[in-house]
Structure 1
Amino acid sequence: MTTQGTRLPAGVVMIEDSECPPATLGLWKHYGRKGPAYGIGAGYTVSLSELPADGGSMTKNVSSWVNKTQSDAKLVSSKGTRILKAGESMEEPADHNDTVERVEWV
């Protein structure tokens, strides 16, 4: 799948506001699951710099998460690594908003 002429990394699809397919980690640029959004399949390590958004990228630009996989996701940033457990969702707290640079898996 492509967006803005850019090929997306393996395991990544574009998704809509508030929608996240099963077995996918959903991430949205804005709070409330709005704005440019992508789904990452469990097990795929992805640098958010590879995901286009509003003329830039999703690196340091994600505010909402939903983990519909059966695996824990590692949200890696310069502030450290946090875990989003399987089946959980999160609106980024103010001190971590727009900090995640890469997604890995536990």
Structure 2
Amino acid sequence: MTTQHTQLPPGVVEITGSECPPGTLGMWRDYRRQGPAYGVGAGYDVDLSRLPVGSSSMARNVSSWVNMTQSDAKLISRTKTRVLRAGESMEEPSQENDTVERIEWVM
């Protein structure tokens, strides 16, 4: 289930639960698709500091990913960029956990 949050950047929806909507890159704060979550539509570059989580944001707080789009997503941190391919999911390895600050797309 998704909800539209009025202050979110374009292309972003809030996700309730562990299911990622089709055509969306889902991200969860916690491992195993738990905790607060958002979905980003393909082609929308997003600064994760604009996605609120309590008194913080999703920047440097994402542990679980699902890419339900037809495009590869670039997961950008301060020190590196990784690619999550279309159709793939990932639990962050411990050395990369909570490092992603921005999403961009390989189009």
TM-score bracket for this pair, using the shorter chain length: over 0.9
Deviation at 1:72, TM superposition (A): 0.1
Query: Residue 32 of structure 1: CA displacement?
Result: 0.5
Query: How big is the alpha-carbon RMSD for the aligned residues of Structure 1 and Structure 2?
Result: 0.9
1:47 aligns with 47
Alignment of 1:1-106 (within 5 A): 1-2=4-5, 7-106=7-106
Task: State TM-score, norm by structure 1.
Answer: 0.94
- Runs (4+) of structure 1 moved beyond 2 Å? none
For residue 79 of structure 1, report the CA deviation from its aligned partner. Answer: 2.5
Deviation at 1:19, TM superposition (A): 1.1
Q: Percent identity?
A: 67
One-letter code of the match for 2:49? S
- SS state of the match for residue 9, structure 1? coil
Contact map agreement 1:79 1:96 (CA 8 A) in 2: no
- State the shift of 1:96 in Å: 0.3
Q: How many residues align?
A: 103
Q: Which runs of 5+ in 2 are unaligned?
A: none
Residue type at the aligned position of 1:70: Q
Q: In the TM superposition, what whole-angstrom CA distance separates every residue of 1:46-80 from its partner, at most 9, and x where no partner exists? A: 00000000211000000000000000000000130
Give the secondary-structure state (helix, strand or coil) at the position aligned to 2:16: coil
